[in-house]
Amino acid sequence: MTTMTIKNFFDPYIKQNAPKHLQHVWFSSPGFAFHGVQRELLVGSYSSLIASLGIALFVLFLTSGNLFIAVYALITITFVIAVSVAIFAALKWELGIVEAIIVIMSVSLSVDFVVHFGVGYIHTDSADIDHERKKIKQHYLSSISTPTEPPDNMEIRIPRKMSTYHLIYKQQQIERETRVTESISRVGSAVFMAAFTTFAARFSMTLSSLTAFRQMGQFLMTISIAYIMGIFNVFLFTIMCLIGPVGKCGSIPFTRIGEYFKRCLLFRCQYCKLK
């Protein structure tokens, strides 16, 4: 029963049944403060999570330099937070001030896990990508080539236009796989060890008799497990392998933007000198 339900019941009841000199009183209870805090915690947790996710999207967009990677990372963060909240509910947590702070902190702690893999995906060595693309092209052309002249002067042709689309798809797919593989090889061990040490260090906090310490330990352990499982097995790498950006798709042209502002600044300085 909410605070407004109680108030909406007692106010008309007092006006109808109370003596005339008491009909202008109102009902109050110390429980109203508790209900008010619970309502604000519930509404504030949702709004704070949305605001934190928006800020995380902006930070991921700037750090990764790619819109698609930022969106995929945000999807991963959202689903892992949902899994973490479900685990907290299974542990019979009740919404309070400490619990609300812990849930909101999960967004800021989660960005660090995801952004490393996103940046590693974007900054993959272009030479490795070109090498894998050439291998796919040579293999594909050799599989569909037909000799129209003697073997010493063999002509390779692509008989159907659809074959070109298939080749482009294969090249894009091998680029995604190469980027994901190199991202894991570059930062996978570091992120895994960071999550493992966080999990191991916070295990001792779960043995505390203080509720706040115990819940903080459970929270950090849950975040570590959820992100390792979510990043490696379910969300981020699966999305990047299927529909990850290739080439410069979705990337911010920082170099061009910097050159544009540099030219504008030089033009402004020259104009001021002429004046």
In order of 49, 63, 120, 187, the CA distances from 114 in angstroms are 17, 11, 10, 11
Query: Among 134, 76, 69, 136, which Cα is nearest to 106's?
Result: 76
Q: At how many degrees (to 10) do helices 31-64 and 3-17 cross?
A: 150
Q: Would you call 94 helix, strand, or coil by DSSP?
A: coil
Residue 251 phi, psi dihedral angles, 5° rounding: -85, 150
CA 172, distance to chain mean position in Å, is 23
Question: Please, what sign has the CA dihedral across residues 75, 81, 87, 93?
Answer: negative
CA 71, distance to chain mean position in Å, is 7
Each residue's pLDDT, cut to its tens digit, for the chain (275 residues) gives 555 676 777 778 777 777 777 767 666 667 667 777 777 777 877 888 888 888 888 888 888 788 888 888 888 888 888 887 888 888 887 777 777 787 777 777 777 778 888 888 888 888 888 878 888 777 777 766 555 555 554 444 444 444 677 778 888 888 888 888 888 888 888 888 877 887 787 787 778 777 777 878 887 787 777 766 666 556 788 888 888 888 888 777 767 777 777 777 777 777 676 66
- Amino acid identity for residue 95 in this structure: L
Q: Alpha-carbon distance 173 to 178, whole Å?
A: 9
For position 3, what pLDDT does the model report? 59
Report the chain's terminal Cα–Cα distance, integer Å: 73
For position 75, what pLDDT does the model report? 86
* Lookup: tokens for 24: 């202008």
In order of 9, 71, 253, 260, the CA distances from 257 in angstroms are 62, 22, 6, 5
Contact present, 113 and 227 (Cβ < 8 Å):
yes
Query: Among 253, 227, 256, 230, which Cα is nearest to 66's?
Result: 253
pTM of this prediction? 0.70
- Kindly list the structural domains of the chain, giving each domain's residue range(s) and its CATH number in brackets, ordered by start: 3-246 (1.20.1640.10)
Report the alpha-carbon angle 137-139-140, nearest 5: 65
Contact present, 50 and 42 (Cβ < 8 Å):
no
In order of 45, 46, 49, 56, 141, the CA distances from 104 in angstroms are 7, 9, 6, 12, 53
